[in-house]
């Protein structure tokens, strides 16, 4: 069956680079949402804890509960279930959400500084702080999200300036509403590498930690290493004669006699069908014909075939991004740390 191998060495290499960039391991919050970008929630939580990371970011409360034993704080970005827990912080995305939150929970206010996706508007910050106080919520953080940190443009600088205004406003209101100094954070993976001197309390790193960050070539290119390798086992081998076809709808026709093997990975496992007839493995095996639900065909006859070592390269063949390839991998595929 297909196997996902996770490199401890590559992961720690990436975290070393990030820690050096931001100044301390204590400033890293690893993003483990959506099964840790397909790498395995528990596997990556354990590795993160082993490295010394004490903060995590997840999508929902269910993910937070599963990894609570490995971290000191966990930020839940979305969800509708809340509990009073000293480790779990809940993101506030709208004013209306505050009304539904029970007193005593720890929250982090998300402010929309230009992404226009989630978060209260900059003009709603004061009202949000008032509502948080009235509801008896414990404000632990204020954050935003960059929309174009991976591209060379002025937008990253523009959003930084907007967030600086938010920070000043929140700090100025601290005495009025009586909350402790919250942690401020705006940087995602790409943003972390835009700073000459990192000056925030926290960086939320997802794709960089997994070694698949892609930035405009004009920006800094950190020496990150992909953590995941996807492999598959051979099911069968056959010799195709010239003119014979492979797979559904006969989309591949052999132009010569060739050795072809079928492997136990398909779109049911998350291998994107759009890459059919368009992909070549790291060791040179060509993907032939359309990917089936549970298997796919490649040139050669290796017993175990490395499908990809860098999800971004497979994503290119499928016409998408590495994120989609990673999170689409079936959670029941075995994840093995090496």
Give the residue numbers marked as catalytic. Answer: 33, 248
The alpha carbon of 166 is separated from its chain's Cα centroid by a whole number of angstroms, namely: 26
Q: 111 φ, ψ to 5°?
A: -115, 130
Sequence-distant (≥ 6) Cβ neighbours of residue 99 within 8 angstroms: 131, 135
Nearest-angstrom CA–CA distance, 190 and 205: 8
Strand partners, 185: 143
- Cβ of 72: how many Cβ atoms within 10 Å? 12
- What are the angstrom distances between the C-alpha of 84 and each of 56, 101, 107? 17, 10, 10
The 10 Å Cβ neighbour count of residue 27 is 22
- Cβ atoms of 299 and 258 within 8 Å: the answer is yes
| Residue 244: partners with Cβ closer than 8 Å, 6 or more residues away | 253, 254
The radius of gyration of the chain's CA atoms, rounded to the nearest angstrom, is: 23
Q: How many CB atoms lie within 10 A of CB 115?
A: 16
The tokens of 236 are what? 């069968």
């Amino acid at each position: 069956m297909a196997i996902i191998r996770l490199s401890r060495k590559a992961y720690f290499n990436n975290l070393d680079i990030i820690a050096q960039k931001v100044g301390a391991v204590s400033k890293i919050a690893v993003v483990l949402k959506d099964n840790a970008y397909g790498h395995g929630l528990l596997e990556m939580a354990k590795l993160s804890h082993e490295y010394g990371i004490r903060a995590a970011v997840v999508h929902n409360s269910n993910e937070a509960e599963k990894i609570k034993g490995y971290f000191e704080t966990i930020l839940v970005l979305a969800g509708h279930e809340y509990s009073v827990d000293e480790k779990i912080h809940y993101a506030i995305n709208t004013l209306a959400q505050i009304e539904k939150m029970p007193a005593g929970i720890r929250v982090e206010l998300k402010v929309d500084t230009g992404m226009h996706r989630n978060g209260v508007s900059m003009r709603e910050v004061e009202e949000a702080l008032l509502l948080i106080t009235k509801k008896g919520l414990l404000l632990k953080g204020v954050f935003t999200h960059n929309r174009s940190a991976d591209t060379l443009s002025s937008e990253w600088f523009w959003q930084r300036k907007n967030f600086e205004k938010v920070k000043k406003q929140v700090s100025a209101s601290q005495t009025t509403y009586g909350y402790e100094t919250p942690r401020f954070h705006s940087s995602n993976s790409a943003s972390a590498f835009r700073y000459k001197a990192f000056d925030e309390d926290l960086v939320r790193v997802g794709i960089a930690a997994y070694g698949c960050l892609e930035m405009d070539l004009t920006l800094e290119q950190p020496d990150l290493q992909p953590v995941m390798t996807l492999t598959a086992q051979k099911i069968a081998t056959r010799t195709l004669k010239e003119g014979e076809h492979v797979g559904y709808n006969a989309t591949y026709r052999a132009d010569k006699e060739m050795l072809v093997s079928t492997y136990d990975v398909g779109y049911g496992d998350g291998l994107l069908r759009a890459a059919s007839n368009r992909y070549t493995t790291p060791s040179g095996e060509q993907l032939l014909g359309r990917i089936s639900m549970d298997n796919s065909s490649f040139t050669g006859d290796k017993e175990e075939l490395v499908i990809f070592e860098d999800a971004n390269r497979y994503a290119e063949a499928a016409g998408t991004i590495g994120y989609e390839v990673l999170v689409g991998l079936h959670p029941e595929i075995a994840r093995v740390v090496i």
